[in-house]
Chains A and B, each alone.
Chain A
Amino acid sequence: MLIAVDHVSLDVRAHETVGLVGESGSGKTTVGRAVLGLAPVASGAIVYDGSPIHHLSRARRRPLASRIQVVFQDPFSSLNPAMCVEDILVEPLLANGVSATEGRARVGRLLDQAGLPANSGRRHVREFSGGQRQRVAIARALALEPELIVCDEPVSALDLSTQDRILQLFIEIQQSTGVAYLFISHDLAVIRQISHRVAVMKQGRLVEFGSCEQVTLRPADAFTEELLLASPVADPLRQRDRRRRRLERSQGSILSHASASMNPGSPNPEEIK
């Protein structure tokens, strides 16, 4: 049996952003999907506002849609290109019992919250850039005024300057609405910019969970330190030093593996140093 997530525990408080970071395949997206009810939970619990939600049927989960929303990674595939922006924003409202008149009246406010021009409503998403499309996806997530948004790599598909503006938008929205984010990214620089607390995953397990400052400046786990070293910095001298330290670590690891496989009983080279 292949398990993507193994004994992971974390919590997200009101008005808070918890960054979930890890290398590709570490299980961070699966945690987000489990919270959304999109990935099966074999054991453990997902508790929302005091009540377990991991076992809920599809029908019983529906009311939760207004409280837990999602922004996916790729705004090119997560939005219907055949629909205009207004229809995209109104659809979740209609599905949750809001009248069409009331729904359309809310569109202007949603566009404003997401930093889109007021006349965007009648345009199709195919007319927008990647950053603008992600703003539409964010506006859609905000339509039902959720308490929690699972953000699954929401800026990974965007260029660096657009990334920065979208991250700032997430921060401004949180300040004005109090929404909490479970923010998933493989990029520690992004996580550092937006998170209050950071959880680090490796091979399906949580290896570190703490304040953003502690995890990103004084990591307790060797893997977190490796992740930090893998993130490039703009200073060439510091970058050279980080590259050297990363190389030393990987050589040490290779030596250790080689020694262990050739001489199972011999001491680890790391221990000899």
Chain B
Amino acid sequence: MNILIASVAGAVVAVVGVIGGVHAAEQPTGTSPSQSSVVGYADD
């Protein structure tokens, strides 16, 4: 049951109907940044 449609307008971030965190075997490869790139480190 989807209990809320996120209000995108005016939101800093909105998560809308996300299905995620699928099992590793199902993950697309090479699209997820590392922890260090989130923090802003030069990791390339």
B31 contacts A27, CB within 8 Å? no
Q: How many residues of B contact A (CB 8 A)?
A: 37
Q: A40 with B20: in contact, given A11-B8, A61-B37 (CB under 8 Å)?
A: yes
A45 to B18, CA, bound (A): 6
Please tell me if A41 contacts chain B, counting CB pairs below 8 Å.
yes
* Chain A residue contacts of B44, Cβ below 8 A: 59
* Chain B residue contacts of A8, Cβ below 8 A: 15, 17-18, 20
A209 to B15, CA, bound (A): 13
* Chain A residue contacts of B38, Cβ below 8 A: 36-38, 65, 68-70
Q: Which of B5, B12, B18 contacts A5 (CB 8 A)?
A: B18
B39 contacts A65, CB within 8 Å? yes
Residues of B within 8 A of A (CB): 1-23, 26-28, 31-33, 35, 37-42, 44
How many Å from the CB of A18 to the closest CB on chain B? 9
Majority secondary structure, B binding face: loop
Binds B, one of A87-95, A109-117, A120-128, A244-252: A87-95
Binds B, one of A46-54, A156-164, A226-234: A46-54
- Please encode chain A, from 36 to 78, with 1 for each CB lying within 8 Å of some chain B CB and 0 for all others: 1111111111111110001001110110011011101000000
15 inter-chain pairs at a CB distance below 8 angstroms, sorted by A residue, are: A5-B19, A5-B20, A6-B19, A7-B19, A8-B17, A9-B5, A10-B15, A11-B6, A11-B13, A38-B33, A41-B20, A46-B15, A61-B37, A62-B37, A92-B40
A40 contacts B17, CB within 8 Å? no
A41 to B42, CA, bound (A): 24
How many Å from the CB of A204 to the closest CB on chain B? 8
